Structure 1
Amino acid sequence: AARTDLPVPEPPFWGRREIPVNLDDVFSHLDLHVLFKLHWGGKGVKGEDWETLLREDFRPRLERMWREQDYLRPRAVLGYFPCNSDGNDLVVYDPEDPAVELERLVFPRQSAHDRLCIADFYRPLDSGERDVVALQAVTAGSEVTEVMARLEREGEFADQLFVHGLGVQVAEGLAEWLHSEVRRELDMEADQGRRWSWGYPACPEQSEHEKVYRLLDAPGIGLTLTGGYAVEPEQSTLAIIAHHPQAVYFGMKSGRLPKQTAPDQVIADPRRRAGHRVGDDGTIWFDDDADSYEDSREEAIAENDPEEVVAEADGAPAGAGREENGSGTDATNGAGRSGAPVGGRDEE
């Protein structure tokens, strides 16, 4: 079982708060491997051809789009709430009166392996001490979808694909950026804890979005829910964050509890997360290793779950359960090869 005697960090505030976003700060959190390989069609290109594609097309294109775009409208809301686990439920309390229950977030539990459940990574109700849960919502804004619709009407399908890919990765980058802010504010290690989005095997029930919407007042940053509980605008995500050092990504048929800590290798891998950035003068910098290394995602997953690795699709794009087109991405709603929502990671 996960340890229940670890110190509970003190958040900088309680309740929800909209967090100002500088889009250039998000750039270093873009997953260029997924953007270039999955969304922009570079999958399967290797060696000298790949280096040429990076040098002559993808990097100059991204730099130009980043400087010239006027359709990305990032917004973010973050909430810190007192909480306790109660079996498979995470009970979320009112920050102004921690005796008052606001919501119960419900998660499934593995039937085998270590019988993991996301609720396990928070202090139990009978511990007598409240834990803290971070909830977040981010969006790249609705104008991305509007630009995509206009490009489709004009028959500019290639440009539509590039805009779509950038919008999806900005939403993912926003989620990563805000998660890094949570780690900093809770005085966590840079690779400590995990973030999950609803729609993955560890938290598959997207109707739980309604509870998170209420807790975060997500409509306050322009988010709505469809009748099927999908988040709109489509380049948006909701997520739950655990600070517990043993927290891991897992599915109902894979994943085990580490004995000590479980560094988030997908974040920690410097070949994928270091190097590209926007300088103070607006100059965009790229790092050859950060966006050209082809196997780091699979290796990172293997390091997270060395005993039982399940092959994962290349990327974690938006739009759970949506249909794909032949390119491996869905140009209308953000779905990708994994069919999993943007903003968190998990395994089948």
Structure 2
Amino acid sequence: RAGKATNRRRVLGQATSAAIGPVDKDAVRARRHRLAEGVPVPTPPFWGPKLIDHVPLKTLVTYLNERMLYQLQWGYRKDGKSFEEFKEWAKKELRPVLDRILRIAAKEEILRPTAVYGYWKAAADGNDVILFEEDGTTEAARFSLPRQAKEDGECIADFLRDVTDPERDVIGLQVVTMGQHCAEVAREWFAENRYQDYLYLHGLSVEMTEAMAEYVHARIRAELGYGAEDSRDKEKLLQQSYRGSRYSFGYPACPNLKDQEQLLKLLDAGRIGIEMSDEDQLHPEQSTSAIVLHHPRAKYFSV
């Protein structure tokens, strides 16, 4: 889910030279045709980018991973408790804290979730993912991705139809942010010696960014017509129990953070205040971008 460390799943690192070496296009094309069998291309409700300028915090809480918030962001450990015991303890001791910070954030408009997402025609050429304008022939962007250095190794590009296929596939793009104001308020709280609330707010802003990414991804799945395949169990849903996947640049499967520049340009992300730093990180810090694939076999993998 890519900004600075907002995506806990990211394992930064470069692909091996073997993984980005010469591509046997015929073998890759055959693999792609196999994967495409029986997987129709969904029809999006629109082409290009669309703005989401306001989502109520209470809506996003539905997608909030409280376990990651309490344990990873806030630093509360199980201390010998079973997972179920920790959940019950957190419900009594930590959920009231979460509710309090959320009330403050809503009242003072500290967290300002916004997003831009959209759909492009797409195809794959070797290890490259190509995005097209609505005509399906004018190239709008191209992402060169690594492939696992083994026989029949995986590459994100294989989950899209081949560029030689007469039918274009569809790809989703998204970028979300909690805005810059939450970082400014957190710094103010720190300067006022409100250290505990500073930690609570900072951790919550990180996880609410992830929740916003989940919310937008769920919207994409619904609009493409396969949202009904989502797990009804929140824990499972937050562990990718749904069709397809979203990949943030910086994952081993798409390690080039600089590719976000093309993504942000297509989405016109500047209108929600998102820009790239010289280190290829997103600003504001609590922001994350991703490409979204609909193929049922598209899941996380390492290169």
Q: Which whole-Å CA distance do the structure 1 matches of 2:219 and 2:210 have between them?
A: 14
Aligned partner of 1:25 among 42, 59, 62: 59
Cα distance, 1:118 vs structure 2: 0.6
SS in 2 for 1:132: strand
Cα distance, 1:55 vs structure 2: 4.1
Cα distance, 1:47 vs structure 2: 2.7
Paired position in structure 2 for 1:207: 258
Paired position in structure 1 for 2:48: 15
Equivalences for residues 258-277 of structure 1 within 5 A: none
Aligned partner of 1:220 among 265, 271, 284: 271
Task: Extract unaligned runs of 5+ from structure 1.
Answer: 253-348
Paired position in structure 2 for 1:78: 117
- AA aligned opposite 1:197: S
Paired position in structure 2 for 1:94: 133
Q: Which whole-Å CA distance do the structure 2 matches of 1:113 and 1:219 have between them?
A: 41
Aligned partner of 2:99 among 29, 43, 63: 63
Aligned partner of 2:149 among 98, 111, 117: 111
- AA aligned opposite 1:236: S
How many residue pairs get aligned? The number is 251
Post-superposition Cα deviations, 1:17-56, rounded to whole Å, max 9, x if no partner, equal 1024232211110000100111111124343984675244
Change over 3 Å in CA distance of 1:37–1:114 after alignment to 2: farther
SS in 1 for 2:50: strand
Root mean square deviation, CA, Å: 1.6
Paired position in structure 2 for 1:195: 246
Change over 3 Å in CA distance of 1:108–1:184 after alignment to 2: same
- AA aligned opposite 2:36: T
Post-superposition Cα deviations, 1:142-197, rounded to whole Å, max 9, x if no partner, equal 11110121122223222211111100011000000111111111111221001111
Paired position in structure 2 for 1:4: 36
Post-superposition Cα deviations, 1:204-244, rounded to whole Å, max 9, x if no partner, equal 11000110011101111110110011001111000011000
Paired position in structure 2 for 1:318: none
| 1:245 matched to 2:278 | no
Higher mean C-alpha deviation, range 37-46 or range 103-112? 37-46
Q: Which whole-Å CA distance do the structure 1 matches of 2:293 and 2:87 have between them?
A: 38
Equivalences for residues 40-55 of structure 1 within 5 A: 40-47=74-81, 50=86, 53-55=89-91
| 1:150 matched to 2:178 | no
Q: Which whole-Å CA distance do the structure 1 matches of 2:102 and 2:45 have between them?
A: 32
Q: Which whole-Å CA distance do the structure 2 matches of 1:18 and 1:122 have between them?
A: 25
Task: Extract unaligned runs of 5+ from structure 2.
Answer: 1-30, 231-241
Cα distance, 1:113 vs structure 2: 5.7
Higher mean C-alpha deviation, range 198-207 or range 107-116? 107-116
Change over 3 Å in CA distance of 1:33–1:223 after alignment to 2: same
Aligned partner of 2:160 among 98, 122, 128: 122
SS in 1 for 2:183: helix
Q: Which whole-Å CA distance do the structure 2 matches of 1:65 and 1:119 have between them?
A: 41
- % identity of equivalent residues: 40
Q: Which whole-Å CA distance do the structure 2 matches of 1:235 and 1:8 have between them?
A: 33
- AA aligned opposite 1:30: L
- AA aligned opposite 2:103: R
SS in 1 for 2:94: helix
Q: Which whole-Å CA distance do the structure 2 matches of 1:121 and 1:233 have between them?
A: 31
SS in 2 for 1:28: helix
Paired position in structure 2 for 1:276: none
Runs (4+) of structure 1 moved beyond 4 Å? none
Higher relative contact order (CA 8 A, sep 6+): 2
Change over 3 Å in CA distance of 1:162–1:114 after alignment to 2: farther
Change over 3 Å in CA distance of 1:194–1:113 after alignment to 2: farther
- AA aligned opposite 1:79: G
Paired position in structure 1 for 2:282: 231
Contact 2:101 2:200 in 1 (8 A): no
TM-score, normalisation: structure 1: 0.69
